[in-house]
A and B are shown apart, each in its own frame.
Chain A
Amino acid sequence: MFATVERSIPIAVVAPIGRLDALNAPGLRARCDAIMTEGTTRIVIDLGAVIFLDSAGLAAMVGALKRARASGGDVKLAMPHDPAVLRILELTRFDRVFDIREDAEVAVASFASKHGRRAGR
């Protein structure tokens, strides 16, 4: 359910597909852990293809964020296309926790620009 793109520069994009819930959030957690264990601490989680997000999915993303920031990196999100998923991010104020960009490409590019603007919302 995950598509991962490793890049020549140390940024990884993880793209969960479908449901990101209690049943498969451990998969996201494991994928992010593996990426960071390999030394990449800048990660984009692309929510573009996520159609259901629950509190376990949120927890997995926060876990990745904390580990990345503790290592000097960061986790950014690419905007979900599903309005219900976006609403969950807003209800839980995750839109204030994460740097959320329009899409994965913009999120990746923003790592190179410390002064890049966040997605207007």
Chain B
Amino acid sequence: MTLIALSDREPYIPAERTIPATLKALGELGGHTRAFVFSCATHDAEATAGALELAVHEIGVNIVRHAYDSQGGWLSIAYRIEGDDLVVTLTDAGRPFEPEDAVEPDPDQPTEGGYGLFLVAQLVDDLTYTRTRDRNRWELRVGRTGRRAAAG
């Protein structure tokens, strides 16, 4: 368990870190993500923290399982505030993302997988994937004052 002290005044911006690309290692990210949101969000922090925690987790699992085929590797994660947005970036050196990996759930024909990225797209305001040279880069963005999509 990671205990994180929060200041009443300063946003908590977790330091950029690189972790092994394993499911177990992903567990340490949740506390940092939640603390980041709770120190920065100005509206419905609990819901925003839960959404961003799950979104980061899903991207992490996607990296572990699909970018590296569960064979190990690394991923780095960085947090920042940009205007009214809370931004999380995950980078890895695994194989490129294939769009067909993302499946929209069909209640009439439920499948045993493929919900991860659909879920992320529902949980954040913006999800961006870029492939630069041999790096995958995922950027997740939520509004500091609450998810914009949720307000609509």
| CB contact under 8 A between A84 and B47, given known A22-B23, A54-B57 | yes
Cα distance A88–B47 in the bound complex, in angstroms: 12
**Is A62 a contact partner of B110 (Cβ separation < 8 A)?**
yes
Chain A 36-76, CB-CB to B under 8 Å as 1, else 0, gives 00000000000000001011101100110110000000000
**Is B113 a contact partner of A55 (Cβ separation < 8 A)?**
yes
**Is B110 a contact partner of A55 (Cβ separation < 8 A)?**
no
| CB contact under 8 A between A93 and B50, given known A23-B23, A23-B27, A62-B111 | no
What are some 23 contacts across the A-B interface (CB < 8 A)?
Answer: A22-B23, A22-B26, A23-B23, A23-B27, A52-B53, A54-B57, A54-B61, A54-B119, A55-B113, A55-B115, A55-B116, A58-B115, A62-B110, A62-B111, A62-B112, A63-B112, A84-B47, A88-B119, A91-B122, A91-B123, A94-B105, A96-B107, A97-B107
Q: Which A residues have a C-beta under 8 Å from some C-beta of B?
A: 21-23, 52, 54-56, 58-59, 62-63, 65-66, 84, 88, 91-94, 96-97
Q: Which B residues have a C-beta under 8 Å from some C-beta of A?
A: 23-24, 26-27, 47, 50-51, 53-54, 57-58, 61, 64-65, 105, 107, 110-116, 118-119, 122-123
